[in-house]
Structure 1
Amino acid sequence: MSGTPRTALTIAGSDSGGGAGIQADLRTFFACGVHGMTAITAVTVQNSLGVQGFTEIPADVVTAQIKSVAEDIGVHAAKTGMLASAEIIEAVAGTLDEVGIGRHAVTPFVVDPVAASMHGDALLRDEALEAIRTQLFPRATLITPNLDEVRLLTGVEVTDRESQRHAADALLEFGSQYVLVKGGHLYTDPQCVDLLSDGTQYIELPGHRHDTPHTHGGGDTLASAITAHLALELGVPDAVAEGKRFIERCVAESYPLGAGIGPVSPFWRLQH
């Protein structure tokens, strides 16, 4: 690569174990060929066994990080991960409008509505769910909830392909342009079928289900891979398809780490 690469911003929490959050996002941005930038919302105390605690960054510091990089460097696509509180969510939403990020602006915006870790540890305070629905989703180009997050946000229990479509419809009512209902947790299906919809079309994206417990950071990696490809000027369906291919290979190449659940791995990209 020569010249200045395209840029992507992640607004999310830091994972001290390096498997998810900001760390996973930056690894993925690099592997996909874009320059990664950060606005850190929280510092977590976590390892392969789970999250032992987290400390929020003051909302004004979060928004100052966004403005600093957007006004100087520029942002070609952005995503959110762990946002921790309603105060941070509301502050981020207003700042995105100021710097021109979101579905009604020039810069694509992906919302990964992180509500809990894969261990079941809470990463989002209760009052923040409504702020995600009302403040972030209407600004989102794409939202990428897993099935647990779908249930928390809409009350829809996804058990099959039909209810996956119902969930997509319910989520789109909150105002995003597209929704990707991830099917990796739908273990009754022999494949991992994600569903992308804008309310007029339903695109099924099947993938191979790999027999591994090491999937830490999978949701972050998928959302950041999609964001990277949006930064590279792909349309949403193509960016999602590329992100799906990327995460499938990352899961296939995941590795054990510590005494618990290891991370998905983008290291395969370095071999090609």
Structure 2
Amino acid sequence: MKSIIWTIAGSDSGGGAGIAADIKAIESFGGHACTIITALTAQNSMGVEAINAVTIEVLESQFAALESDMPAKVIKIGLLANIQQVEFVAAKLAHFKANWPLPPLVVYDPVAVASSGETLTEDDIIPTLKNTLLPLVDVITPNTQETQILTGHYLIGPSAVRDASEAFFNLGVGAAVIKGGHWDYPQGYCVDYCAVPGQEYWLGNEKIIAPHNHGTGCSYASSMAACLGLGYPLKDAFILAKAYINQGLKVSVRIGQGIGPVAHKGFPHDLADFPTVIEAGSWLGKELELEPWDRPVVAEFSPSETQQLGLYAVVDNCDWLKLCLENGIKTVQLRIKNSDTPNLAEQIQTAVALGQQFQARVYINDHWQLAIEHGAYGVHLGQEDLDTADLVAIKAAGLKLGLSTHGFYEMLRAHNYQPSYLAFGAIYPTTTKDMTGQIQGLEKLKHFVPLMKAYPTVAIGGIDLIRAPEVAATGVGSVAVVRAITEAADPLQAISQLQQAIKV
């Protein structure tokens, strides 16, 4: 079944924002949008002419109808027109979170002022919002003006953005996504910020000059809600929502005589629409005063000789590595996780020699120092290694670099480094490591592969002989296996069958 997303917001008779935009954005990501209308607005591309808040009785009837039949996985909230509505919706959310078997996530886009400048609320609802609603919000998505209204922090620099997010946490909000469309810092760029306590993410791209941008805030929040409904982690929902808005702004057109709506063009598939993941060592990172200052982003590693790495065996000793090479596998990774393993250096030296003997691509997992010392073909690193490994030394030694990614955000972060290949995982649950919350599945893989078509791509995680053909059918250039060979009753037969299975 499709993920059910409720949107609690006002209508827009001009079709550009509010409920109209929410439905389009949610449906673009494959969710099913249910609506609870808080106000009937009379507006067009020129502005808002009237706001007609619905009564609490009308709100109650809409809630009752949906709650009895179509409970939400995520609830997105937009315009709440008065104090009574804020109190009523907050009471409903508290009830759902306390009593539903699967409490809904709540995404709140704090709409108080329309992009045209009109005030959309009837009363001073800010104190009520802070006291009743915000403690129930999992993700808040304000622009700079809304952030200032709710927190009192004027966003004059990156430290103020962090301070504002802390203010939201102190009000009980789970995560803050502060949109940078009106910030213009650094000049000419649009920088968005996402934070949970103890963790932050920055995205940036050149500012898109688009006069027709009505409904961007609603669409942004609804895109995030839809992605969270799909089970995506927050950082992936963040980057996809940003890409969705960038995509829409580039092709938005005038409808009516005033400001036209942002376009809704479906799931973003063009890499040019995705923002940059801002790293501390990049020039944008330095502008934003991200630390550590002295760790540059190293890019353009030695490219792979082929886009099709084929069957990719991951093994934990040189006996298995030799068996795989002897039976025609050309891409193998030696993954010895324990740094205290006896004779580790000798095993890596042997692995390098075997790779040279069989003219194969042998990657060393994690142990980049020994890989450099013994002249390895390449190294494979995880995301956490990007913060600690000497990437300058790896590149200078001419080693190939493979990077693990788990989702859209990590994939775009890895893209900053322009590695030799990208690995996507875990595609299926696996017993070789704990991948809780990081299972990607075939649907995500189908999005990853075309986005990263400039790189050799590898799918890994829980893939066996039965699953290999459907994984290969996504167009991924390599299928990596672990247990499918090392735990097979007949490893040689398993290698032969796997090689045939991925030739789709």
Query: Smaller-chain TM-score range?
Result: over 0.9
Between Structure 1 and Structure 2, how many residues are aligned?
Answer: 268
2:104 aligns with 107
**Per the alignment, in what secondary structure is the counterpart of residue 5 of structure 1?**
coil
Higher Rg of the two aligned structures: 2
Report Cα offsets for 1:177-226 as digits up to 9, x if no partner: 10111111012432211111112112112133111111100000000000
Shift, 1:155, TM fit: 1.7
What's the counterpart of residue 37 of structure 1? 34
CA separation of 1:268/1:6 partners in 2, compared to 1, >3 Å: closer, same or farther?
A: closer
Q: How does 1:182-201 map to 2 (within 5 A)?
A: 182-189=179-186, 190-201=188-199
Aligned CA distance change for structure 1 residues 60 and 207 (closer, same or farther; 3 Å): farther
Distance in 1 between residues matched to 2:263 and 2:2, nearest whole Å = 22
Aligned pairs (5 A) from 1:1-272: 4-100=1-97, 106-189=103-186, 190-267=188-265, 269=267
The Cα shift of 1:105 comes to: 6.3
Alpha-carbon distance in 2 for matches of 1:90, 1:31: 31
What TM-score do the two structures reach when normalised by structure 2? 0.51
Cα pair 2:185 2:191 within 8 Å, conserved:
no
Q: Distance in 2 between matches of 1:101 and 1:227?
A: 20
Give structure 1 stretches of 5+ with no counterpart: none
Identity in percent: 34
Q: Which moved more, 1:218-227 or 1:150-159?
A: 150-159
Larger RCO: 1 or 2 (CA < 8 Å, sep 6+): 1
State the distance in 2 between where 1:105 and 1:264 align. Answer: 33
Q: Which amino acid aligns with 2:258?
A: G
8 A Cα contact 1:67 1:99, kept in partner: no
5+ residue gaps in structure 2? 271-504
Q: 2: CA distance between counterparts of 1:158 and 1:213?
A: 23
Structure 1 residues 271, 178: closer, same or farther in 2, change over 3 A? closer
Residue identity in the other structure for 2:92: T
Further displaced range: 237-246 or 14-23: 237-246
8 Å Cα contact 2:76/2:222 also seen in 1: yes
Given that 2:40 and 2:54 are in contact with CA atoms closer than 8 Å, whether structure 1 keeps it comes out as: yes
Distance 1:37 1:161 in 2: 37
What SS is found at the alignment partner of 1:95?
helix
Q: Is the 8 A contact 2:243 2:268 kept in 1?
A: no
Is 1:39–1:62's contact at 8 Å kept on the other side of the alignment?
yes
